[in-house]
Amino acid sequence: MKIGLIAGKSDLPIEFAKSAKAQSKDLTIFALKSITDKQIEKYAKTYWINFGEAQKLIDLMHEEKITHFVMLGKIEHYLLIFSFFKLDKRAKEFLSNLKDKKAKTILEGVIKELEKEGFKALDPTPYLKSLLVEKGLVNNVPLQEKYKKDVEFGIKIAKQIAQLDIGQTVVVKDQIVIAVEGIEGTDKCIERAGKLGGEGIVVCKSARKNQDMRYDVPVIGEKTLESMKKAKAKVLAVEAGKTYLINKEGFIKKADKLGISVIGINIKEDESVI
């Protein structure tokens, strides 16, 4: 098996590359100029391509005799929508033929397009299992009683929003939805919610129902906490078993220092989640 890692922004592709290298997997990385962290070059042979060079990516994957591929790391949704002029002919045709431009539609379409070329999509979970948030309190700041109803309310709303493919994050306060993540992404959603809701907002993040772990799995990290600090948010609730946590040790130290409670939740539609 020869794995091709199509790497976007964030530390998640680096974590996968580290794990693959530790397991002596045959890995080749396809990184995006000005998007992917350059540190990724340390872990495997790396090709750098421009955003939108779909045909070049496919040609390189064939040249490298890739059999399986993984897509990890963020590519801002707005780039796909508002940078159409940067796409090559193959990418423009692909995007034009989609039924809509929701993230799920685009990513599933990319997988199908690559599988038509003979490459098989690989579930990265076995390589990243240690990063999945477990149920319960993640750090050392207990969840205050006054925030429990907001967590209960918000995490279920987040699940519904994720299923509609609007976003993964909802911010609530006093069981009122303050902000819903759209095309701007999680961090800007949190900052916007801080301006609207003020101190004491609760951030909730969820995967889709029956989340396909091959793509678009929720991720949290220290940058999430920085956005929460700016917004004076007090709680981060995420779906357990379906959310990746980057640099857990550093994340916990930062969350403790900021006084933010971080909790993993098993979401059940008709039952209490806490």
Say what the pLDDT of residue 274 is. 63
Nearest to 224 by CA among 215, 212, 236: 236
Is the CA virtual torsion 74, 29, 3, 56 positive or negative?
Answer: positive
Spatial separation of the C-alpha atoms in residues 210 and 165, rounded to whole Å: 13
- Fold observed for domain 2-128: Rossmann fold (3.40.50)
What's this model's pTM, rounded to 2 decimal places? 0.92
Distance of alpha carbon 86 from the chain centroid: 23
Task: Tell me what pLDDT residue 81 has.
Answer: 67
Alpha helix (H) residue ranges in the chain: 12-22, 54-63, 77-82, 89-96, 103-116, 125-128, 148-163, 186-197, 222-231, 248-258
- Locate the domains of the chain by residue range: 2-128, 132-265
Return the pLDDT at 83. 75
Looking at residue 76, its pLDDT comes to 81
Q: Report the alpha-carbon distance of residue 85 to residue 14 in Å, rounded.
A: 29
Find out whether 194 and 233 touch, Cβ atoms under 8 Å.
Answer: yes
Nearest to 262 by CA among 230, 234, 227, 241: 234
Q: Compute the distance between CA of residue 31 and CA of residue 1 in angstroms, rounded to an integer.
A: 20
Quote the tokens at residue 100.
Answer: 């809509």
List Cβ neighbours of 53 (8 Å cut-off, separation of 6 or more): 88, 91
b (16+ CB within 10 A) / e for 186-202: bbebbbbbbeebeeebb
Positions in the chain whose pLDDT score sits under 70: 81, 269-274
Q: What is the DSSP string of 194-206?
A: HHHH-TT-EEEE-
Does domain 132-265 sit in CATH 3.40.140.80?
Answer: yes
84: Cα within 13 Å, side-chain hemisphere: 8
Q: Summarize pLDDT for 102-116 with one digit per residue, the tens.
A: 889 999 999 999 999
- Residue 160, number of CB atoms within 10 A of its CB: 13
pLDDT at 40: 98
The first and second tokens of residue 177, run together, are: 């939805």
